[in-house]
Each structure stands twice: as structure tokens, then as C-alpha cells.
Amino acid sequence: MEISNYLQIKKQLPLNVNLLAVSKGFSSKEIKIINNLGQNDFGESRFQEAIEKKILLDDLKNIKWHFIGRVQTNKIRKIVQNFEYIHSVDSYEKLLKISNVSFEEKRNPIVMLQVKLSDDPNKGGFNPKVLLEKWDQIKEFKSIKIKGLMTINPKGLSSIENIKLFKKCRYLADSLKLQDCSMGMSGDWEEAVKAGSTWLRLGSTIFGNRTY
């Protein structure tokens, strides 16, 4: 557990930048330790693993759970029922289903739309052009709060290349009048902050090596 790293990073962050502790692969005990230091936002990408932790940590009422993994259509109802934030909505069809399910479940999740800003075959997301074309329809969706955009940069980029891609995401969010950009992970978070990120998704940097 890299507690000193966590405290150091928290101290460095501007007031408008939130730290999301990516707890995928870490135990409920480790989540408790970080939570005791004042960390309330935790990100999970595997639904079953997240639910097991959620049950074990039910007494910690200040925890806010964020879903950051690939949204599978057949899991949308369960994701809506269990997560306050969804960072990784990567298509118009899934967003529409989340909106409809949220209405049925009387939920109102905060949503980030994942955008694809590079030709990385391993990453999904809205094509920015398609997002702009459909934006007027998307704005009318009920029972969801679209607060921002989310992106994942390809691995192996230089610092300058990272900043350039992150700035594209920030510019797109600003043009849609969206407050948040969920961008920056353990390897590129400093560049993301420079480019205007408001949510950093950090796992091993603050928890240490994954235990499973």
C-alpha cells in the first residue's frame, strides 16, 4: 500500500481535480485503509468483483462507486442499480439504454461519455464527429446526468503526445459545455492535469501492486 504516494499526489492536485481510486484487483481491506484517509470515490471495472466489495463495505456510507470498465449491454441494469457514476459509456445505443433503464429504476446516474481520439484498436468510444452530430438528441435523454467525457490514451506515447490527445478531449468537452474530463491514469496523470482533467483514475500508483 503506497499511502505516502496517495498523500503526496492529493497534496499536488489543483482543487478542481478529483482523484478516483481504481480499486479493481485490490481488497476491501485496502479500500478501507484509503477511505480512512478521506478517499471516498472508488472505481471498479469488473461488475462481480465490485458487488462483492460493495457488500463487504456496506457500512461505509460515504463511499461513491464509479463504474469504469467496458459497459456490456446485458449488465446495464445491474450497473445502473449499483453505481452512482458511469465513466465508460462508449456508444449512442448503450447511452439510450442506460437512460431508459435509469428511468425504470428511478435512478439518476452521473455519466461520462467515452471518446476515441486515436486509432487504437484496443480502445472503444464515441467518434467525436458522431458525438457532435448526435449531441442535440443526447441532450434530451432523461434520468441521466451527462457531466463530462472520458478517454484512455494508447500506451507508449511521449509526454507531448499525451498532452496533445488529452487537450483534444478537454476542447471537445468545452465545446459541448461539459464540466468534467475523466482522463489520466497511473502512467500519464501529470500530463492529464496539465491538459485540464477533472477526474484522475489511479490504481497501482496509490495502492501498490495488485494483490490478485
d(Cα 74, Cα 8) in Å, to the nearest integer?
Answer: 40
Does residue 106 form part of some domain? yes
List b or e across 2-40, with b for residues whose CB sees 16 or more CB atoms inside 10 angstroms.
beebbeebeeeeeeebebbbbbbbbeeebbeebbeeebe
How far apart CA 100 and CA 97 sit, in angstroms, is 5
**Cβ atoms < 10 Å from Cβ of 51:** 15
Domain assignment present for residue 184? The answer is yes
Range of the domain at 94: 3-207
Q: What is the DSSP letter of 145?
A: E
Residue 153 lies in a domain: yes
Per-residue pLDDT of 16-48, as tens digits, reads 999 999 999 999 999 999 999 999 999 999 999
Residues 70-125 pLDDT 10s: 999 999 999 999 999 999 999 999 999 999 999 999 999 999 999 999 887 778 89
What CATH number is attached to the domain comprising 162?
A: 3.20.20.10
Q: How many Cβ atoms are within 10 Å of 138's Cβ, its own excluded?
A: 19
Structural domains in the chain (count) = 1
Flag whether pLDDT at 3 surpasses 90: no
Q: What is the pTM of this model?
A: 0.94
What integer is the mean pLDDT of 183-206? 96
With beta carbons less than 8 A apart as the criterion, state whether 90 and 125 touch. yes
Are 174 and 167 within 8 A, CB to CB?
Answer: no
